[in-house]
């Protein structure tokens, strides 16, 4: 029963903090613009926020290894909360940038420890389901948070908006503070090392793949984030650009839970290849829809289904990589590197997409290239020899 209460408190904290972060990311460009910032600064503050978090994770990862994931979740929640109190007090742009830089600590500390704490809380037999559920809650917050909280800006102003985010931060901090420290990482050796004799199955592959895969899938998913609102417009369809994001988010909700369960049942190799195949199918589906002459209704169905597949494969692959790391006894440093791979994939993906669009102009080619690259990555992973780098010895990935 205590595990159930701990899981409920943990997932409630994840929902609150992810709601805070996702909603604030959407609102910050407009807030900077309201204070007199230009378009460059509106976007630069988000890039600075992410890049500082990437740099700080080297420190926060080691702190998580020393003091534990729960301590860093509490510290990260406070790192999100405090800037929400300070931002309404800012009157100059440099103050906003400074506060956002402080908030980067929250991003660096909280997000990687979500997967780490979920895997510890679950125990070896339920890692996939717990990590998948955590990813499900994070995706759900992206759908719910902005929808409910952004209207507060127009109705009551930014003070009320940031006040509501601060309340979410307080709730997220309180929930995780009340959770008992996870003791579910049975079978782990010293410093997060697990050996084959301690449960390392033969289909556990080298840890490098669990860093490369998040980078690859986030690079592909950034294509949807950067161009999703333009796809229906290029296809000459009178459908809101947000439809693709809704379909992708719905796919992410299903994929996070589905692949978390398949990991526990069939292991990471089969599950990750399947997730990458679905992601590739979605990307190629969008590319095909933009070049094939189809009736409007059929094209809308094709693009909606393709978007669902992109979200299904992307969020499923992330949940699988985190589950694999957790089952291998990953420490805070590795989960921090994994989160960095996701963030850097998004950054490089934006540059990659921009270069392709600048050179070619249409959206079909970038989706086709990304779909083929992900398919090649899935094939390479499927052909990787079983047990390579893990057979007959311990594997340290933390």
End-to-end CA distance of the chain: 30
The token pair at 286 is 């969008």
The DSSP H or E segment spanning 328 is: none
Per-residue pLDDT tens for 279-337? 999 999 988 888 887 787 788 888 888 888 888 888 888 878 877 776 666 566 777 78
pLDDT band at 146 (very low <50, low <70, confident <90, very high): confident
Q: 10 Å Cβ neighbour count for 394?
A: 14
Least confident interval from 74-83, 88-97, 123-132, 355-364: 355-364
Q: What is the mean pLDDT of residues 5-13?
A: 90
Residues whose CB falls within 8 Å of the CB of residue 317, separated by 6 or more in sequence, listed in order: 213, 214, 217, 259, 272, 275, 276, 279
Query: Looking at residues 233-247, what average pLDDT do you find?
Result: 71
Q: Is 179 left (phi over 0), alpha (psi -120 to 50) or beta?
A: beta
Class of domain 196-391 (CATH, top level) = mainly alpha
| Fold assignment, 2-181 | Growth Hormone; Chain: A; (1.20.1250)
Cβ–Cβ < 8 Å for 381, 176: no
In 3D, which of 110, 34, 151 has the Cα closest to residue 336?
110
Percent of the chain with pLDDT over 70: 85
Question: What phi and psi values does residue 104 have, to the nearest 5 degrees?
Answer: -60, -30
* pLDDT value at residue 240: 63
| Residues 174-206: tens digit of each pLDDT | 999 998 876 544 433 333 433 333 333 333 444
**What are the extents of the domains in the chain?**
2-181, 196-391
What's the pLDDT band for 165 if we cut at 50, 70, 90? Answer: very high
pLDDT at 72 over 50: yes
pLDDT band at 374 (very low <50, low <70, confident <90, very high): very high
Q: b/e for 311-324, b at 16 or more Cβ within 10 A?
A: bbbbbbbbbbbbbb
Q: Strand runs (DSSP E) across 43-123, as ranges?
A: none
pLDDT tens-digit series, residues 51-62 = 888 889 888 888
Q: Which of 63-77, 262-276, 379-393 has the lowest mean pLDDT?
A: 379-393
Of 1 and 112, the one with more pLDDT: 112
Judged on CB neighbours under 10 Å (0-12, 13-18, 19+), 57 is buried
């Amino acid at each position: 029963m205590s595990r159930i209460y701990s899981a409920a408190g943990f997932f409630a904290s994840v929902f609150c903090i992810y709601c805070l972060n996702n909603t604030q990311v959407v609102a910050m460009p407009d807030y900077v613009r309201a204070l007199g910032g230009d378009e460059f600064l509106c976007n630069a503050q988000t890039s600075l926020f992410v890049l500082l978090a990437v740099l700080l994770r080297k420190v926060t990862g080691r702190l998580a290894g020393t003091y534990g994931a729960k301590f860093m979740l509490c510290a990260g929640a406070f790192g999100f909360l405090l800037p929400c109190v300070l931002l309404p007090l800012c009157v100059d742009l440099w103050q906003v940038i400074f506060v956002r830089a402080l908030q980067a600590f929250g991003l660096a500390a909280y997000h990687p420890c979500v997967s780490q704490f979920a895997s510890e809380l679950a125990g070896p037999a339920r890692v996939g389901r717990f990590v998948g559920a955590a990813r499900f809650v994070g995706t759900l917050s992206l759908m719910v948070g902005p929808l409910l909280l952004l209207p507060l800006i127009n109705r009551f102003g930014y003070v009320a908006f940031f006040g509501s985010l601060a309340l979410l931060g307080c709730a997220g901090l309180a929930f995780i503070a009340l959770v008992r420290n996870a003791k579910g990482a049975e079978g782990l050796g010293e410093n997060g090392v697990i050996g084959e004799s301690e449960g390392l199955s033969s289909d556990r592959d080298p840890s490098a793949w669990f860093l490369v895969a998040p980078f690859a899938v986030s690079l592909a998913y950034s294509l949807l984030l950067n161009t999703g609102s333009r796809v229906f417009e290029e296809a000459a369809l009178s459908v809101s650009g947000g439809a693709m994001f809704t379909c992708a988010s719905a796919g992410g909700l299903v994929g996070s839970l589905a692949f978390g369960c398949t990991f526990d049942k069939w292991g990471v190799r089969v599950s990750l290849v399947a997730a990458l195949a679905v992601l590739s199918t979605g990307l190629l589906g969008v590319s095909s829809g933009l070049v094939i002459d189809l009736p409007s209704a059929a094209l809308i169905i094709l693009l909606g289904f393709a978007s669902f597949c992109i979200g299904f494969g992307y969020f499923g692959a992330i949940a699988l990589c985190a589950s694999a790391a957790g089952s291998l006894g990953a420490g805070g440093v590795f989960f921090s590197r994994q989160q960095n791979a996701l963030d850097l994939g998004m950054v490089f993906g934006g540059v990659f997409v921009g270069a392709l669009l600048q050179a070619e102009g249409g959206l079909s080619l970038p989706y086709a290239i990304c779909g083929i690259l992900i398919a090649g990555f899935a094939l390479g992973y499927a052909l990787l020899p079983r047990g390579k780098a893990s057979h007959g010895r311990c594997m340290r990935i933390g």
